[in-house]
Copies of this chain bind each other. A is one copy, B any other.
Amino acid sequence: MIRSDAARNRAKVLAAAETVLGEQGLTARMDEIARRAGVGVGTVYRHFATKEALYAAIVSARVDLLLDEAARLRVAAEPQTGFFRFFAQVVADAARKKTLTDALHSAGIDVKAEQAGQRAQMREALADLLRDAQRVGAVRPDVDLPEILALLRGASMAAETGDYASPVIDRTLAVLFDGLRPHALHAPPPSA
């Protein structure tokens, strides 16, 4: 077996792991992942030194995809919509993949160097899209990155762990986005 076979195996394992983790959560066994990938456990370990590394790789791959998407949107989309489309994208991805992004965190798995880098990149990408949107008045000027991150994490986690129908997610995001838009009167409701 030559290099390309090895790469193919790596991909199979990654895909199987993503599926199995989505189904069974963090407790999924390495044997099961190997079985689904159609390889032996040994092969899983050849590509990912530990279970934790396998998880990290999955998350990392996903984040890379999202970062690409963010870069693409910044160029291709209007500043008014880029931010919102990216936000929705992340949530949709969470709902689809159910990769337990934060379960990793809650399970006490340490964020390693690479992840820290990605985390920073993600913040930056989001900050860029947010700044663009605020510049053109699509997002109220008084919100800052921390709130955005909290909202994005919350929405993603809910989508990931819940079992919401697509329209519910849409309506939920609609509310969220409305909260982010600028309008005349905030704190005190109209008729109060």
**Whole-angstrom distance between the Cβ of A132 and the nearest chain B Cβ:** 14
Q: How far is the CB of A183 from chain B (nearest CB, A)?
A: 5
> Which residues of chain B are near A76, meaning CB under 8 Å?
none
Q: Known: A146-B168, A183-B183. Contact between A175 and B158, CB under 8 A? A: no
Mask, A149-189, CB within 8 Å of B = 1, is 01101111111011010001101101111111111111101
Contact A138 B192 (CB under 8 A): yes
A171 / chain B contacts, CB cutoff of 8 Å: 143-144, 146-147
| Inter-subunit contact A158/B168 (CB<8 Å) | no
Please tell me which one of the listed residues B80, B146, B168, B176 contacts residue A189 in the complex, with CB atoms under 8 A apart.
B80
Q: Are B189 and A137 in contact (CB under 8 A)?
A: yes
A112 adjacent to chain B (CB < 8 Å): no
Query: Which one of A106, A171, A182 has the greatest number of beta carbons of chain B within 10 Å?
Result: A106
A150/B178 in contact, CB under 8 A: no
Residue contacts A-B, CB under 8 angstroms, 13 given: A25-B108, A100-B106, A146-B168, A146-B171, A147-B172, A147-B175, A153-B158, A154-B159, A157-B158, A175-B176, A175-B179, A177-B179, A182-B189
Question: A106 with B176: in contact, given A157-B161, A184-B184 (CB under 8 Å)?
Answer: no
Residues 108-161 (chain A) with a chain B CB within 8 angstroms: 108, 136-138, 143-144, 146-147, 150-151, 153-159, 161
Contact flag A175-B151 (CB < 8 Å), given A107-B26, A138-B192: yes
